[in-house]
């Protein structure tokens, strides 16, 4: 009986990120805030090491352009591209991005 009660009570719970996202105003991903939002979440998604060698340059037509320090990082990041896209879109609650292009900077 105790187990049945736990199952029924847990059905009403949602993930915290979905609840928080729903409570934010619609303007959070507007053009003015979009780059700030993307930069913040980029750092969380890729982690400290990759965030230290990369930065968001621009976003055009659902393509995110990222600057990378050192050409040796481009193949590494290309292999993680799909996972990064999925995580950012999941955090946005919509298909915010369709692709990522990594550009090496001198």
What's the DSSP call for residue 65?
E
Residue in the block written with tokens 């990759």: 50
Domains, the chain: 2-105 (3.30.300.180)
- Cα separation, 48 vs 43, in Å, equals 7
What's the residue count for the chain? 106
pTM of the model: 0.71
Kindly report the average pLDDT of the chain as a whole number. 83
Evaluate whether 65 touches 57 at the Cβ level (below 8 Å).
yes
Binned at pLDDT 50, 70 and 90, residue 106 comes out as confident
pLDDT in tens, 24-45: 544 555 556 889 999 999 999 9
């Amino acid at each position: 009986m105790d187990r049945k009660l736990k199952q029924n009570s847990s059905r009403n719970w949602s993930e915290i990120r979905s609840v928080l996202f729903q409570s934010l105003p619609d303007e959070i991903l507007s053009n003015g805030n979009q780059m700030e939002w993307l930069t913040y979440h980029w750092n969380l998604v890729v982690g400290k090491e990759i965030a230290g060698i990369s930065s968001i340059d621009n976003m055009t037509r659902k393509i995110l352009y990222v600057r990378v320090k050192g050409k040796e990082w481009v193949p590494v990041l290309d292999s993680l591209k799909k996972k990064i896209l999925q995580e950012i879109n999941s955090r946005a609650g919509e298909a915010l991005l369709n692709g990522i292009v990594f550009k090496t900077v001198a």
